Amino acid sequence: MSTAATRQFIVGVCGAGHCDTALAALAEAVGLQLATAGAALVCGGLGGVMAAACRGARAAGGITIGILPGADTADANPDVLVPIATALGEARNALIVRTADVVIAIGGEYGTLSEIALARKIGRVVIGLQTWDLGRDAAGEPHIVAVATAEEAVAEALAGCRLRLIQR
Amino acid sequence: MSTAATRQFIVGVCGAGHCDTALAALAEAVGLQLATAGAALVCGGLGGVMAAACRGARAAGGITIGILPGADTADANPDVLVPIATALGEARNALIVRTADVVIAIGGEYGTLSEIALARKIGRVVIGLQTWDLGRDAAGEPHIVAVATAEEAVAEALAGCRLRLIQR
Amino acid sequence: MSTAATRQFIVGVCGAGHCDTALAALAEAVGLQLATAGAALVCGGLGGVMAAACRGARAAGGITIGILPGADTADANPDVLVPIATALGEARNALIVRTADVVIAIGGEYGTLSEIALARKIGRVVIGLQTWDLGRDAAGEPHIVAVATAEEAVAEALAGCRLRLIQR
Amino acid sequence: MSTAATRQFIVGVCGAGHCDTALAALAEAVGLQLATAGAALVCGGLGGVMAAACRGARAAGGITIGILPGADTADANPDVLVPIATALGEARNALIVRTADVVIAIGGEYGTLSEIALARKIGRVVIGLQTWDLGRDAAGEPHIVAVATAEEAVAEALAGCRLRLIQR
C-alpha cells in the first residue's frame, strides 16, 4: 500500500511554450532522465519546453502531469498523461511549483521567471539550465542552482527531492 | 503515441471528507468499477468519500488524481497516485469539475453541492448517489441524474464521457 | 484612521448575469438599501442581478466591488467602483463569498447555487430572495434564510454582519 | 454616471511584507502621490511596503485595494479600504497585476519578483524602485523601467496608465 512516505518524487519542469530545437533537446533529455530515475514530472502542460520534457519522460514510461492554464484538458500536449484543466490563467503557475518537490527551469521567458520566483518564495530549490541569472541573495547564496547539462540538472533535482523528504 | 482523442476518460468523484461506512462502501465500489472500465478518477484528494473512491480505484490499478485544497501533497489520502497541491482552499473545487469529463456526487455536504453547481455551470453531466435533490430545470430536466447503485452511476458516467467526447 | 474593527460591513450579492425586470428591480432595491445602511457590496461584477444591485448601491453612494471571472477590468458593469480582474473563471466565486460577511442570493442559476454552497461551506449566512430551495439540515435549520422582500433581505444581512463581527 | 472609459486608473504597488524605514518612506510617498493624482492603488494588502503605500494613499483620500493571500479580510493592514479575501495563497499575486493598469515594484523579495514576472507576462509596464535588476530583453529594452524617486515612479506609472487606456 502506498503512503506519503513512499510517494514518488515530483519534479517541476518550467519553460516557455515555444523554444528552439537545442532547448527542446535539453528538455527532452531532462524528462527522460527524470523518468528513468523514477520521478514524476509536473509542468504547465503546453508546448515548447513543456512538450519536449513530457515526450522524454513518456519515452521512459514516466508519469507526466500538465497543469493547464485553460479550461480544456484537450489543450495538453500529447505526452501529458494526467491533464489538469484549471481555467486559472497564469495563476496556475503557483500550483505547478506547489506540487513539485523541486523545480528545474529551462530557458525561459516571463512565465518561467514567475515560476522561479514563486518556487523560491515557498522554499523550493530551483535548478537552472540556460535560464534567468538572478545573482545571489544577501547571504551570498545563488537564488538559482545553475547547471550546464541535463545530467547535472537531474542529479541536483533528485538531491533536492531527497533533502525535502528529510525536512518534512 | 497518445493523442487527445485517445486520452482516457476522467471521472470526478465528489463527496464529503468524512462519511459513514455505508457511503464509503458505495464510493469504493464506484472507484473500483471506474478503474475497471479504464477511466481515471479525479477528486479532492482528502478522506471520507474521496479516500474510499481512491482505494477502490487503486485496487483495480486505476489512476487517481487528488486536487488538494492545501499546500502540501502529503495531505493526500494514501491512494492518491497523482497529488496536486493547489493551496487554493475551496476554490480548488472548480478545478476538479473542469478536469472531469463527468461528475459523480456521492452523499455530500456543502462542498459537494458547490461541485455539483460548478459542474452544471460549465455543462458537465452530474450523476447523484444519495446526494442533494435539486429538482428539475425550466425544461423539466433533472439537474442531477439520480441513480441508486454504483453500477448505475458508473454506467451513466461512462455514457456521459462518450457523449462529451463526441461533442467536443 | 480606519482599523479592522471599524471597517464597514461587506455584503455579497449573488445572482445570474441575465435576469428579468422584476428580479432586477429587487436587486436594485437591495443594493440601494445596503448602501444606505453603510454596507459595501461585493458581487461578480457582471450584468443582470449584479449590475442592478450595483446600480442601486451607487445611487446611494455606496462602495461596489466586482470580482470578475475574466482578465479585464473593463468587463465590469458601469456601476462597479472597484473592479478586480481575476482571470480565474468560475473559481472566482469562492473569492466573492470569502470577501463577504454575509451573502444575499437573488434568483439564480448554477453559478448562484455554487456561491450559496461555497458560502455555507465556510460558515457564511445566506439570505435568499426567489432562489434555490435547499430544504433543511440535519438539525432542522434551513440552509438558506428565505425572505420575501428587499427590506427583509437587508435587515437579515445586517444582522448577520453584526453577528459575524461579534464572533470573530 | 461612471463608465469603463472614465474609470480611474489602478496602479499596483508590489513589495515585501516587511521593510526598513527608508523603503517604507519611499512606498508611502508613492502611495500619497498616486492618490493625489487620482489613481486607485491595488496591492497585496499586508504589511511592509504594502502598508506604507496604503498609508500614504489614504492620507490623500485615495482608494486602496488589498488582495489578500489569506481567508480573512481582517488580515488587511488598517489602511486598506477595500479588502479582498482570496484564500489563494501566493496565487493571488496574479490577480494583483491583472487588476493593475501598471505596476510599481518597490524593493522586493521573491514575492515581488513573481509579481514583476507575472505583470510582464501579461504585458503590464513595470516600474522599479530599488528592486530586482533583470537586464534587458532580446530587443535591448529593459524588462523593468528603473527609476530613483517616488516622483519619477508615479510619473512613469501615470504615463503607462494613459498608454494602456489608448491601447485597449
Per-residue pLDDT tens listing for chain C (168 residues) = 344 445 799 999 999 999 999 999 999 999 999 999 999 999 999 999 999 999 999 999 999 999 999 999 999 999 999 999 999 999 999 999 999 999 999 998 999 999 999 999 999 999 999 999 999 998 999 999 999 999 999 999 999 999 998 887
Asked if the model's pLDDT at residue D101 lies above 80, the reply is yes
What is residue B168's predicted lDDT score, i.e. its pLDDT?
Answer: 73
Q: Residues of C with CB below 8 A from B114's CB?
A: 114, 117-118, 121
**Does B114 reach chain C within 8 Å, measured CB to CB?**
yes
Helices (H), chain C: 21-36, 48-59, 93-99, 110-121, 150-167
DSSP E strand stretches across B10-165: 10-14, 40-43, 64-68, 82-85, 102-106, 126-129, 145-147
Question: Confidence band (pLDDT; 50, 70, 90) for B3?
Answer: very low
DSSP C89: G
Q: Residues of C with CB below 8 A from D122's CB?
A: 71
- Whether ipTM tops 0.85, in short, is yes
Please say whether the beta carbons of C30 and C153 come within 8 A. Answer: yes
Closest-CA distance of chain C to residue B37, Å: 30
Please say whether the beta carbons of B83 and B76 come within 8 A. Answer: yes
- The average confidence (pLDDT) of chain B is 95
Q: Residues of B with CB below 8 A from D90's CB?
A: 87
Asked if the model's pLDDT at residue D69 lies above 60, the reply is yes
**Does D94 reach chain A within 8 Å, measured CB to CB?**
yes
Closest-CA distance of chain C to residue B86, Å: 12
Asked if the model's pLDDT at residue B5 lies above 50, the reply is no
- Do B65 and A84 count as a contact with CB atoms less than 8 A apart? yes
Asked if the model's pLDDT at residue A56 lies above 80, the reply is yes
- Do D91 and B90 count as a contact with CB atoms less than 8 A apart? no
What is residue A1's predicted lDDT score, i.e. its pLDDT?
Answer: 34
Residues listed for chain A: 168
**Does C163 reach chain A within 8 Å, measured CB to CB?**
no
Which secondary-structure segment (H or E) carries D68? Answer: strand D64-68
Please say whether the beta carbons of D39 and D11 come within 8 A. Answer: yes
pTM above 0.90, yes or no: yes
**Does B65 reach chain A within 8 Å, measured CB to CB?**
yes
Q: Residues of A with CB below 8 A from D111's CB?
A: 117, 121
CB atoms within 10 A of CB A165: 14
Of C65, C86, C94, the CB nearest to D82: C65
Under the phi-then-psi rule, with left for phi > 0, alpha for psi from -120 to 50, and beta for the rest, what region is A92?
A: alpha
The three-class DSSP label of residue D161 is: helix
Q: Are strands C145-147 and D10-14 parallel, antiparallel or unpaired?
A: unpaired
**Does A131 reach chain D within 8 Å, measured CB to CB?**
no
Q: Per-residue pLDDT tens for A113-160?
A: 999 999 999 999 999 999 999 999 989 999 999 999 999 999 999 999
Asked if the model's pLDDT at residue D78 lies above 60, the reply is yes
CB atoms within 10 A of CB D152: 14
CA C118/CA B75 separation, integer angstroms: 21
DSSP B136: B
Closest-CA distance of chain D to residue C138, Å: 27
What is residue D167's predicted lDDT score, i.e. its pLDDT?
Answer: 81
CB atoms within 10 A of CB A162: 13
Chain D: residue whose CA lies nearest to B86: D88
Question: In sequence order, what are the residues at sequence separation of 6 or more whose Cβ sits closer than 8 angstroms to the Cβ of residue D53?
Answer: D13, D15, D27, D28, D30, D31, D34, D41, D43, D64, D106
Which of B42, B127, B118, B109 minimizes the C-alpha distance to B81? B42
